[in-house]
């Protein structure tokens, strides 16, 4: 059975996409830790990041860097955190989160009922920042 992320990638479930290429996608978290919290997800279903091909790990982290730079431009956080937890969904995903401190990476602080308009604004802002940086892989609108 397909993971929830595969269903989002296929368009069976909605997602606020920021990036799409042949190897991965990026979309906003529906339970953001901070505005702009994004997930970098490989197209192929792999449960644990240690099982990824090293070249795919390199690609995913490179995309995460592009997203982080867009988050820096869009939201001016103190830092951008990168986390691979993998407990919620059995499909590798990298959390890229604009942060002020380590407490911003605590899932106990996730917004479980974000305003859809806020998510739409964050997605549009990040797409604009990615486009401004010259990335043709920007997805959604």
Active-site residue list: 93
Backbone angles phi, psi at 130, to 5 degrees: -65, -40
Helices (H), the chain: 4-10, 54-75, 116-132
- Give the integer Cα–Cα distance in Å for 16 and 58: 24
134: left (phi over 0), alpha (psi -120 to 50) or beta: left
Strands 24-28 and 17-20: antiparallel
């Amino acid at each position: 059975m397909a993971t929830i992320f595969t269903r989002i990638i296929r368009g069976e479930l909605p997602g606020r996409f920021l990036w799409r290429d042949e190897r991965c996608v990026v979309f906003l978290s529906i339970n953001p830790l901070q505005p702009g919290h994004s997930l970098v997800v490989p197209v192929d279903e792999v449960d644990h990041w240690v099982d990824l091909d090293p070249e795919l790990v390199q690609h995913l982290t490179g995309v995460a860097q592009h997203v982080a730079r867009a988050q820096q431009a869009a939201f001016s956080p103190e830092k951008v955190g990168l986390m691979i937890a993998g407990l919620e969904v059995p499909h590798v995903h990298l959390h890229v989160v604009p942060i002020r401190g380590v407490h911003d990476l605590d899932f106990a602080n996730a917004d479980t009922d974000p305003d859809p308009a806020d998510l739409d604004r964050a997605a549009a802002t990040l797409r604009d920042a990615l486009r401004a940086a010259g990335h043709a892989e920007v997805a959604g609108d």
